Amino acid sequence: MFRVRLDNENMILGFASGRVQRNFIRILPVNRIKIVVSSYDSTKGHIICILFCIL
pTM reported for the whole predicted model = 0.77
What is the mean pLDDT for each group of 10 consecutive residues in the chain (55 residues)? 91 89 84 91 91 71
Domains of the chain (ranges, CATH numbers)? 2-52 (2.40.50.140)
Q: pLDDT value at position 1?
A: 87
| Three-state secondary structure string covering 1-50 | CEEEECCCCCEEEEEECHHHHHCCCCCCCCCEEEEEECCCCCCEEEEEEE
Q: pLDDT value at position 19?
A: 82
